[in-house]
């Protein structure tokens, strides 16, 4: 007996992918933040949690604009693979070998993502309104987190500007930069 899967909304896929990328895809950043002496008094959990929510909201904002039935899965796939590739060369959690880390960070989420059919809206305008609604909600969450934590964020990122290098997209750009130099 084969079980048919319920089609997933592109917005749901965008939110799930964003949360995965913000939490699991940024683990080198979370490890570094947890080890900072300034956060040793128990504030690390709150700061890391608020940073995760902020990053998930920003990623949801981006992916909600790409939440079209034919676009969302390739966009999330590229982000998952890029995030996993960017962690190559960093300290691996629990001593996991690189292939296992790649499987955990990208392989399993990709299998889940591509095993789900994507629901289609009744028309283009409905899809566009849904995309904009999710984008506005994500922007609202990001703004609220920034307003509530502006002092912590500004102090932390000013004191430790090098932490920006640990963000997934920055690591990926740094890894791609030598390829660009070879091509041109």
pLDDT of residue 25: 84
Question: Domain ranges in the chain?
Answer: 10-183
- Higher model confidence: residue 168 or residue 87? 87
Q: What are 78-99's pLDDT values in tens digits?
A: 999 888 877 766 656 556 777 7
- pLDDT higher than 60, residue 180: no
Q: What are 51-60's pLDDT values in tens digits?
A: 999 999 999 9
Task: Output the CA angle 38-157-151, nearest 5 degrees.
Answer: 75
Helices (H), 97-123: 98-102, 108-114
Average pLDDT, the chain: 83
Contact criterion met (CB below 8 Å) for 175 and 28: no
Q: Which residue has the tokens 């390739």?
A: 74
């Amino acid at each position: 007996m084969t079980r048919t899967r319920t089609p997933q909304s592109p917005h749901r896929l965008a939110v799930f992918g964003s949360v995965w990328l913000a939490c699991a895809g940024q683990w080198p950043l979370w490890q570094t933040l947890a080890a900072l002496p300034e956060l040793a008094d128990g504030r690390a959990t709150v700061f890391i949690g608020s940073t995760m929510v902020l990053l998930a909201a920003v990623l949801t904002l981006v992916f909600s604009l790409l939440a079209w039935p034919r676009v969302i899965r390739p966009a999330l796939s590229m982000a998952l693979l890029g995030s996993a590739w960017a962690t190559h060369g960093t300290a691996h959690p629990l001593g996991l070998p690189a292939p296992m880390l790649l499987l955990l960070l990208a392989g399993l989420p990709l299998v889940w993502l591509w095993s789900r059919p994507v629901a289609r809206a009744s028309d283009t305008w409905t899809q566009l309104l849904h995309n904009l609604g999710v984008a506005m909600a994500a922007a609202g969450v990001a703004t609220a987190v920034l307003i509530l934590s502006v002092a912590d964020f500004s102090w932390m990122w000013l004191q430790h500007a090098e932490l920006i290098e640990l963000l997934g997209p920055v690591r990926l750009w740094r890894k791609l930069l030598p390829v660009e130099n070879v091509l041109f």
